[in-house]
Amino acid sequence: MFVKNVALKNYLSYPELYTEFTEGINVLTGQNAVGKTNLAESIYYASVGKSARGLRDKELIHWGGDGNAEIHLTVQKKYAKHTIDIAIDKQGKKRIMIDRIPIVKMGELMGAVYVVYFSPGEMRLIKESPVDRRRFIDISLCQQDKIYFYTLVKYNQLLSQRNKLLKDYYNSPTLKSMSDIIVEKMCREQEYIIKKRKDFLSRLAPVADERHLILSGGKERLELTYESEEIDEKNIPESLKELYDKSFEKDKHLTYTTVGVHRDDLKIVAGGIDIRKYGSQGQQRTAALSLKLAETELFYRASGEYPVLILDDVMGELDETRQKALFAHLDGIQSIVTCTSFEKEVASSATIYEINDRKITRL
């Protein structure tokens, strides 16, 4: 799929902007703070309904601007063209329409435009807490599989119910039986989540390894494994139930739930070492990029279409050999790349745009 055009109104640094994009490599250049990331992020927003940098909705409204912030996208898929229209009001309330029809639940937005987003902040994926690694897996799966999205929402609701119970009914003799009711439901939901996550990783790992090998100039192999509690794969709900029973006293004491998919992690080994902890900056950066490129490829294999790849500010971090290796593997993928300046010989087919004074010009 590819984004044909983007129109912004009253959004971040743009009072008004319209631009078209090509199906191939689109490079947004310009000095610092001209709004390259802001524009790239509007596409991400239209894919998941959230800012990639974690800005709150009302923070997306142009300072001093009057009225709603608006993002409008036209997306070309294999068999159909779609429009996405987003309006955010001063209270931070958003209205989203797909093909002019308002959506009722955020889940309906998933898959309307599929984006893989990479920015230096994405290094979190490797070196920060498991939360970021789980989010990576979850966001990929949610966009591909609505059942996964709703299952995860349900699980998280049950998890907060149980945590609340552990806090509010700490001394109650009925705590265990009340918790058991919730645990039973949690176990059932988790079976789907665990299976899907493992299945996703088994497909992701070999592709990420291959990309990593290319990007590291044939020097390093990448291994990905799902880290979770030891459970019986053939009977996940029962097996999880036993773990909850075992950890009940501990959970009661801590007043939160220590067992479940909200604690699982992704182990990332490159060149034989766990790079979550011991990796060099370059290893971590290359691995993060390999993961994102693998995600792109997997989406293609599952749907027959490539997602839009957004590479925000990664060029400066890669040497020229790696930049060339990267662009040589973007065939058939629409990519939106931001950087302060771009050497045409890195990718001769790229279309270059310059952003300046809130305007965009195709060079």
Ligand X SMILES: Nc1ncnc2c1ncn2[C@@H]1O[C@H](COP(=O)(O)OP(=O)(O)OP(=O)(O)O)[C@@H](O)[C@H]1O
- Applying CB under 6 A, does 340 fall inside the site for ligand X? yes
Q: Find the shortest distance in angstroms from Cβ 151 to ligand X.
A: 35
Instruction: Specify the stretch interacting with Mg ion by CB under 5 A; choose among 10-18, 32-40, 219-227, 328-336.
Output: 32-40
- Applying CB under 6 A, does 341 fall inside the site for ligand X? no
Instruction: Specify the stretch interacting with ligand X by CB under 6 A; choose among 61-69, 97-105, 166-174, 182-190.
Output: 61-69
Sheet of strand 308-312: strand arrangement: 115-118, 308-312, 335-339, 25-29, 351-356, 359-362
- Applying CB under 6 A, does 26 fall inside the site for ligand X? no
User: Which one of 1, 17, 25, 34 is in contact with ligand X (CB under 6 A)?
Assistant: 34
CA 52 to chain centroid, in Å, comes to 8
Structure-derived torsion over alpha carbons of residues 276, 282, 286, 289, reported in degrees to the nearest 10: 80
- Applying CB under 5 A, does 38 fall inside the site for Mg ion? no
Q: Find the shortest distance in angstroms from Cβ 270 to Mg ion.
A: 27
Q: Find the shortest distance in angstroms from Cβ 293 to ligand X.
A: 21
User: Which one of 16, 89, 265, 313 is in contact with ligand X (CB under 6 A)?
Assistant: 313
- Applying CB under 6 A, does 13 fall inside the site for ligand X? yes
Which is closer to Mg ion, CB of 224 or CB of 288? 288
DSSP state of 62: P
Is residue 310 within 8 A of residue 116, CB to CB? The reply is: yes
Residue nearest to ligand X (CB): 37
User: Which one of 10, 26, 29, 37 is in contact with Mg ion (CB under 5 A)?
Assistant: 37
Which is closer to Mg ion, CB of 37 or CB of 179? 37
The residue among 25, 24, 46 whose CA lies nearest residue 337 is 25
Give the Cα separation of 170 and 164 in Å (integer): 10
Q: Find the shortest distance in angstroms from Cβ 131 to Mg ion.
A: 23
Q: Find the shortest distance in angstroms from Cβ 339 to Mg ion.
A: 9
- Applying CB under 6 A, does 140 fall inside the site for ligand X? no
The H or E element that residue 156 is part of is: helix 146-168
- Applying CB under 5 A, does 42 fall inside the site for Mg ion? no
Q: What is the DSSP string of 187-247?
A: HHHHHHHHHHHHHHHHHHHHHHHHHHHHHTTT---EEEEEE-----GGGHHHHHHHHHHHH
Read off the amino acid at residue 362: R
- Applying CB under 6 A, does 38 fall inside the site for ligand X? yes
Helical pair 146-168 and 175-215, crossing angle rounded to 10 deg: 140
Instruction: Specify the stretch interacting with Mg ion by CB under 5 A; choose among 34-42, 222-230, 247-255, 321-329.
Output: 34-42
Residue nearest to Mg ion (CB): 37
Which is closer to ligand X, CB of 36 or CB of 211? 36
Which is closer to ligand X, CB of 51 or CB of 156? 51
Give the Cα separation of 205 and 266 in Å (integer): 11
DSSP state of 84: E
- Applying CB under 6 A, does 72 fall inside the site for ligand X? no
User: Which one of 63, 230, 233, 348 is in contact with ligand X (CB under 6 A)?
Assistant: 63
SS3 of residue 70 by DSSP: strand
Cα Rg of the chain (Å, integer): 22
User: Which one of 12, 25, 110, 222 is in contact with ligand X (CB under 6 A)?
Assistant: 12
The H or E element that residue 10 is part of is: strand 2-11
Q: CB under 5 to 8 A by kind: which of ligand X, Mg ion, none does 79 bind? A: none
Instruction: Name 96's Cβ contacts closer than 8 Å, sequence gap at least 6.
Output: 49, 84, 85, 86, 102, 103, 109
Question: Which burial class, exposed, middle or buried, applies to 74 when counting CB atoms under 10 A from its CB (0-12, 13-18, 19+)?
Answer: middle
Q: CB under 5 to 8 A by kind: which of ligand X, Mg ion, none does 348 bind? A: none
Q: Find the shortest distance in angstroms from Cβ 266 to ligand X.
A: 28
- Would you tell me which residues interact with ligand X (CB under 6 A)? 12-13, 30, 32-38, 61-63, 313, 338, 340
- Would you tell me which residues interact with Mg ion (CB under 5 A)? 37
